[in-house]
Amino acid sequence: MGAENIIFLLLFLVAFTLFFRNAAKIKRNIFLGKKVIPEGSKSARLKTMLKVALGQSKMTAKPVAGILHILVYAGFVIINLEMLEIVIDGIFGTHRIFSFAGSFYNSLIASFEVLALLVLVSCLLFFIRRNLLKLSRFRKPELNGWPRNDANFILITEVFLMSAFLIMNAADATLQQQQVQHYVQSGCFPVSSLFASLFIGLDTSTLIFIERFCWWFHIVGILVFLNYLPYSKHLHIILSFPNTYFSKLKPKGELNNMESVTREVKLMLDPEANPYASPPDSVSQIPERFGAKDIFDLNRIQLLNAYSCTECGRCTSECPANNTGKKLSPRKIMMDVRDRLEEVGKAIDKNGSNYKDEKTLLGHYISEEEILACTTCNACTQACPINIDPLSIIIELRRNLLMEESKAPAEWAGMLTNIENNGAPWQFSQADRLRWSEEN
């Protein structure tokens, strides 16, 4: 093992340790939310995951973006098979260790090259589309600053990584032609051979430098990228799997019934119940907050949703409120939950797990105006390519606003009083409910 191999091994170990440490933090943050029993059977959930995350069934609702995305995704995953070889070569100082597989190896490398080119072109197209075409969902205010840079950084990195891979192969092929020792005759390079002629005049040491540089750039790039994920919307390449696995299976129209409320209502309607009796032990004495004011009041699936969001804005571009100029943007709701969760997580890192600050999700991140504009139409949940449910969060926030803070807008207060008093949202007497049959 040479010095080069030891450096590689160290880098590799450091990168993965760092990554797992950050992953553990994300898990801890998600577990700040309330425990929730996932819906339905395991097999139904697995099916959803395979269809929506692996099969990307919802991506093609926008065909161009959908197909490009599938290319990038498939390409990126498959090319990373090459990682295995890179890691072994890196640790043991071998070169193209799998090349003994002969023609099978050659066809693998050939297909990696084709995929690399497709990924490269797709990422360039994505970059142009995101920055030059005036697509409104990429121009919403919630993307200003970091989120826009994040998206572009990912695309540029992928372009560089793929370029490094192809240039490395071109240099390697030229070295093979020069029959330089160590560079075994192997591989098939349909893409890089197209520009390998550029390298022909170069001397061996320059070529080796180019080949080594690209090799290191590729692997270090991937290790850096891995550690970039926890800070990025790109985390979805991992979390979209658990996210779809835990996503809603019930009809979209159905909202959950709050069990704490059910207990109270049952008690109220039960003529036998003694209103002064102390609640049974099963009813916890700690007063539960109605709805959600902060991330602690949301459940773990909702927090997982926030970390999984790709910030694609498909939800927002279908949202009737957003489309008519209201402040509400379901994408922003998800981004706000993640930002707040990160803020709380960092504070806990610094000050210990009991730390509480003065801020809350509703109020400091999300305004009443936003959540009040939602028509609960489910266009956002339908549009989301990874089954995120911004609506369930909006409803939890509204529950807090109405039941905990008693801050219903005046017209709603009137509507609610009417329902309470005469069983309809308007001021009509319940006794008149059959009047229509005489008005014919």
Partner 1 sequence: MSLKVKTMAEMMASGQTPEVLFWVGCAGSFDDRAKKITIAFAKILQHAQVSFAVLGSEESCTGDPAKRSGNEFLFQMQAMQNIMVLNGYEVKKIVTACPHCFNTLKNEYPALGGNYLVLHHTEFLQQLINEGRLTIKGGVFKGKRITFHDPCYLGRGNGIYEAPRELIYKLDSELVEMTNCKARGFCCGAGGAQMFKEAEKGNKEVNIERTEQALEVNPDIISTGCPFCMTMMTDGVKMKNKETQIKVYDIAELIAQANDL
Binds 106: which of partner 1, ligand SF4, none (CB < 5-8 Å by kind): none
**130 near 152, Cβ under 8 Å?**
yes
**Residue 95: φ, ψ to 5°:** -135, 125
- Which among 81-89, 159-167, 207-215, 258-266 is the span making contact with partner 1, rule CB under 8 A? 258-266
64 binds partner 1 (CB under 8 A): no
- Which among 24-32, 112-120, 147-155, 406-414 is the span making contact with partner 1, rule CB under 8 A? 406-414
Binds 159: which of ligand SF4, partner 1, none (CB < 5-8 Å by kind): none
**361 near 293, Cβ under 8 Å?**
yes
Q: Which residue type sits at 332?
A: K
What is the closest distance, in whole angstroms, from the C-beta atom of residue 49 to ligand SF4 in the complex?
15
Nearest Cα to Cα of residue 263 among 292, 301, 299, 290: 290
Residues in Cβ contact with 296 at an 8 Å cutoff, skipping those fewer than 6 apart: 32, 33, 34
DSSP conformation letters of 14-50: HHHHHHHHHHHHHHHHHTTSBP-PPPS-HHHHHHHII
Q: Which residue has the tokens 């806990």?
A: 348
Binding site for ligand SF4 (CB under 6 A): 309-315, 318-321, 328, 330-331, 334, 374-380, 383-384, 386, 388, 390-391, 394
Q: How far is 307 from 392, CA to CA, in rounded Å? A: 16
How many Cβ atoms are within 10 Å of 354's Cβ, its own excluded?
A: 6
In the complex with partner 1, the residue whose CB is nearer, 281 or 411, is 411
Binds 251: which of partner 1, ligand SF4, none (CB < 5-8 Å by kind): partner 1
- Per-residue three-class SS string for 295-344: HHHCEHHHHHHHHHCCCCCHHHHHCHHHHCCCCCCHHHHHHHHHHHHHHH
| C-alpha torsion angle, residues 304, 305, 309, 313 (rounded to 10) | -170
What is the closest distance, in whole angstroms, from the C-beta atom of residue 154 to partner 1 in the complex?
28
269 binds partner 1 (CB under 8 A): yes
What is the closest distance, in whole angstroms, from the C-beta atom of residue 380 to ligand SF4 in the complex?
3
362 binds partner 1 (CB under 8 A): no
272 binds partner 1 (CB under 8 A): no
Q: How far is 274 from 319, CA to CA, in rounded Å? A: 47
Q: Say which DSSP state 289 is in.
A: P
Site string for partner 1, 292-321 (x = CB under 8 A): --------------------------x-xx
284 binds partner 1 (CB under 8 A): no
369 binds partner 1 (CB under 8 A): yes
Binds 157: which of ligand SF4, partner 1, none (CB < 5-8 Å by kind): none
In the complex with ligand SF4, the residue whose CB is nearer, 121 or 377, is 377
360 binds partner 1 (CB under 8 A): no
In the complex with partner 1, the residue whose CB is nearer, 96 or 399, is 399
What is the closest distance, in whole angstroms, from the C-beta atom of residue 152 to ligand SF4 in the complex?
17
124 binds partner 1 (CB under 8 A): no
Residues in Cβ contact with 282 at an 8 Å cutoff, skipping those fewer than 6 apart: none
257 binds partner 1 (CB under 8 A): yes
Q: How far is 50 from 44, CA to CA, in rounded Å? A: 10
Q: How far is 66 from 12, CA to CA, in rounded Å? A: 33
In the complex with partner 1, the residue whose CB is nearer, 205 or 284, is 284
Residues in Cβ contact with 436 at an 8 Å cutoff, skipping those fewer than 6 apart: none
What is the closest distance, in whole angstroms, from the C-beta atom of residue 114 to partner 1 in the complex?
35
Residues that bind partner 1 (CB under 8 A): 250-255, 257-258, 261-262, 264-266, 268-269, 290-291, 318, 320-321, 323-328, 369, 372-379, 381-382, 395, 397-403, 408-409, 411-412, 414-416, 419-420, 423-426, 428, 430-440
